[in-house]
Structure 1
Amino acid sequence: MDRSKNLLNETACNMSPLGDSAIVITFGNGMEYSIHKKIKLFMDLLEEEPFAGFVECVPAFTNLTIFYDPLVIYNIHKQSNEATSPYDVVRSILNRKLLDLIEDTKVSHRTVSIPVCYGGEYGPDLEDVARYHDLTTDEVIHIHSTGEYLAYMIGFAPGFPFLGGLSKDIATPRRSSPRMTIPAGAVGIAGMQTGVYPISTPGGWQLIGQTPMELFLPNVTPPSLLQAGDMVKFQPISEQEYKEIKGG
């Protein structure tokens, strides 16, 4: 195998323990596609070829957390003459796997289309976003709905996608005063990100629309419509279409 193109060539990976049953691997700094690609490729590799004791891995913007069962690791390696902790064993396994990961491997992305009713009671901050950029509300809707967004991670609330790729033309700071309650399905903007609130929760994002789709699916495995690595497109719909989808 040509090791000259493995992931460690471009960005050194830093590993650190998280409690006694997880390791965090940091691949870089900042919300960048090149970092996301490394995280996604390594996550896919671990899920396709799990090591004994592997439980799951959770991606974030710059790192991947790998959870493992220390008892399983200990029982497998207890006959070893070396006094090695489960953390050290897993760290060694992960280092070997990183060497087998080629950086020019293509990453596949599932595309998910999300219908959105923009403005009015569904997007109470749409006019503020338009004023902030000296645009019309229709222009904001057009820019937002013609973009393609990468789900870098799922977090904050169950099923909440942090979506990168927002045009700088409509990037808007968070509200100075967060709302105590935001309805499930609300579509918002915060800085260079956009996202969808999967459940009713407090929040400070600029709300420009709402989707009738459910993103948090507690009775489904996994319980989230979107996963890290998905590509998201927003489709404008009318209020009537919103009510029909919601009612259906």
Structure 2
Amino acid sequence: MRLDKFLAHHLGISRNLVTKVLRAGQVTINDELIKSGATKINVTDVVKYQDTVLEHITSKRYFMLHKPQGYVCSTEDPDHPTILYFIDEPMPERLHSAGRLDLDTTGLVLLTDDGQWSHRITSPKHHCQKVYLVEVARPLTEDLIATFNQGIKLNNEKALTKSAKLEILDKFHARLTINEGKYHQVKRMFAAVNNHVIALHREQIGNLKLDVLEGEYRPLTAEEVNSIGSAIK
């Protein structure tokens, strides 16, 4: 990694300010004064700013975030703010969401820099359950429970969706549990039964239930990480 990028994230300053810090002789690598931001560093290098050691990130990271509306689940987007706005961690751009939510969908997002772990969540073969609270435009009927259980034919899809559990809470609200993650799946499932999703909120992935306030996040425990089927490295 370049030294200027490393410093920008650890010190929380812009690249321009990093350049000034370097020119002022405030940074050393392995006790050698460094003034070039293009210098490459390794995890074995000891980087100091004003004699304070800046720690490298060597272990995998796992977080749950309560995503509000209006944010996209990507690291960069030219038109909308991203969920990294809420993450106050070193090098947040290394994190990615394990299963995205739409711009207007709220709720549980899992963030990690462990690609194998996130694959266990997103890969269809692992059948990781996702639970959503849904608000729809038209009244829900009891016959939909069987329809969702049997599988639904989505537009432009050959196969039916996998069996899903629909729990009707009232005429316009339901809890839906699915075991796959097709593109806009929940919205498309309700569209296929002549309804329209007004609001969508994800409250659970696997055994992990959302328990932080909107716009807040927290690290997962080792037990929670392992519940998805992977150990912290």
TM beyond 0.5: no
Larger Rg: 2
TM-score bracket for this pair, using the shorter chain length: under 0.3
TM-score by length of 1: 0.24
TM-score by length of 2: 0.25
